[in-house]
Chain A
């Protein structure tokens, strides 16, 4: 709670509308009244901050964290990494990034998931990281499988990782999903399609990043995340540069 300042109002055009007939559950869970818009207050400009004492050494390693290092999860090893920035292009330092995903077969370790694919005894499916001084985070994980879900007759989720990101203000709170470059299921997915503009959806598609891939070990995908920014005065800008 160090970085006070009015939050830049959300550009709702880039976010999916609440109601989308293609994503059936949204039909009865979407408000019909307009949102009440107002300039942010101290309530939204402040937010919880988490320290390094929160994190265990394997928290950002989904291959090992479920067994605490005893046995690795099954699947194609990948590194997912990127930066958390704000709309002013400033790195967000020390912010918490949480991730969760299905295992290599497309199955979640969740009592509500009854998909045929088996559970992996060595895979829990969650991880977390704090961004460093430059806003960087990384997760070592396995590539999640695509999975079917009850919506229309034959809907499948593309491979994806769920992300939850805290900024420095509660009003910056964001949950989204990362997709993988080249996955043909993206274009058929009704959840991906809740984002109406393909150029906005493309911002959720992580490219293969051979520069971070490690020979004989893992491939890498790069996923940058942008949170709402704060309005800055010219004076504050100058102070920053000093």
Chain B
């Protein structure tokens, strides 16, 4: 026998299941009175600096059906590219938000500020983006992806530039539909499948 490592292995994932809302956003699920309000209800508070934007979209399965049961989380920096907890970060930006697909339409909405670009190693930077984590029944391990913006300079972003096919890169870029309005659809499988991340 070789020597033993003293490191541990990550706990294996299991699906969040159809009732993830009870655990993560109970008030939304109708389980009222346990917490004063759901965690991550707002990405920003009133007075957050920067451009307030709304991102709308759906999560589609391989048959083209918009999931009614998806639960998502987003994480992002403020308009100056500082994450909550970092020195000088905008105290009105929570950075974290939880939101769910509508039970009738399957559409979700995220209201937040447009994030700033984030420093990357050796003086580079990452283009403005929001990290997104998607869970639902039938998703065995939460899916990581990112929302970039079509009206930002995405050239040289270290992640986007790793995706060779333009049409695949485009799956990570929110389309501008109006002033402060963006559309970001996620396709779990098949034609136009979103690029999911492992980082």
- A→B interface (CB under 8 Å): 1-2, 7, 9-12, 14-18, 20, 23-33, 35-44, 46-50, 54, 56, 59, 65-66, 68, 85-89, 96, 98-100, 108-113, 124-128, 162, 164, 170-171, 173-177, 191-192, 194-195, 200-201, 203-204, 225-229
Contacts and interface: CB of A to CB of B under 8 A. Distances in A.
Contacts of B31: 66, 109, 124-126
A43 B195 contact: no
A176 B63 contact: no
Nearest to A56: B35
Contacts of A126: 22-23, 26, 31, 34
A29 B62 contact: yes
B114 interface: no
Contacts of A1: 83-86
Contact of A29 (B95, B189, B194): B189
Nearest to A229: B7
B23 A226 contact: no
A56 B18 CA distance: 26
A227 B21 CA distance: 22
Interface of B: 6-24, 26, 29-31, 33-36, 39-40, 61-63, 65, 67, 69, 73, 75-76, 83-86, 94-96, 118-120, 126, 129, 131, 133, 135-144, 146, 158-159, 162-163, 168, 188-190, 193-199
A32 B118 contact: no
B12 A15 contact: yes
13 contacts: A18-B140, A26-B139, A28-B62, A30-B139, A33-B168, A42-B83, A68-B33, A87-B10, A110-B21, A127-B34, A162-B23, A174-B11, A177-B14
B13 A176 contact: yes
A57 B101 CA distance: 31
Contacts of B119: 42
Nearest to A161: B23
Contacts of B22: 100, 108-110, 124-126
